[in-house]
Amino acid sequence: MFINMSEINIVDAPPGTEGPGYFATSLDKVIGLARSNSLWPLPFATSCCGIEFMATMGSHYDLGRFGAERLSFSPRQADVLMVMGTIAKKMAPVLKQVYIQMAEPRWVMAVGACASSGGIFDTYSVLQGIDEVIPVDVYVPGCPPRPEAILDGFQRIQDLVKNESGRRRNSDYYKELLGQYGIK
């Protein structure tokens, strides 16, 4: 996931591909850059991690400076599903339905110990991690996580979005992954 800077070879651009006012790149990189800096998160907050998310949206931490100024409370307009807090097993079908209603490409962030692993609630009624019902892209640890951790998790989502190929979502691997969760 992380690049070792000593392994990167920087070479000069071929003649004719750069000059004043323009540069050459691939369409995937331009689309990834645009997407990563204009994500619309859908907060699915059920408990104390939601309070930390509210602090993250406040002026001191300001998630909006990362291009997520507009929260979307409609799954059809959201890019990132941010699940925060304890998810009861009765809530699992609702969470899965929200995920299915989101348009592709979509990403999921499990915020806090409860969304990641059930937290301290190892009981029959609490889902032991949302990855039992939907695929998760980034896990944010903590109980509850500090706003800095939520910002770090959001930046990891941005890295995924920026570097994801436009064809990944149509790959056999991705279709098989969704099939494991019973999602078509």
Contact 150, 53 (CB under 8 A): yes
The 10s digit of each residue's pLDDT in 77-95 is 999 999 999 999 999 999 9
pLDDT at 3: 62
pLDDT at 116: 94
| pLDDT over 60 (residue 33) | yes
More reliable by pLDDT, 133 or 184: 133
CA 46 to chain centroid: 18
**Residue 100: CB atoms within 10 Å:** 15
Q: Which residues contact 124 (CB under 8 A, 6 or more apart)?
A: 89
| pLDDT over 90 (residue 2) | no
Q: Which residues contact 148 (CB under 8 A, 6 or more apart)?
A: 61
**Judging by beta carbons within 10 Å of its beta carbon (0-12, 13-18, 19+), is residue 141 exposed, middle or buried?**
middle
Closest CA to 27 of 159, 166, 160: 166
| pLDDT over 70 (residue 19) | no
pLDDT at 98: 96
Average pLDDT of span 8-22: 70
pLDDT at 99: 95
pLDDT at 23: 67
Owner of token pair 């937290």: 119
pLDDT at 171: 86
Please report how many Cα atoms fall inside a 13 Å half-sphere around the Cα of residue 40, on the Cβ side: 14
The 10s digit of each residue's pLDDT in 117-164 is 998 998 999 999 999 999 999 999 999 899 999 999 999 999 999 998
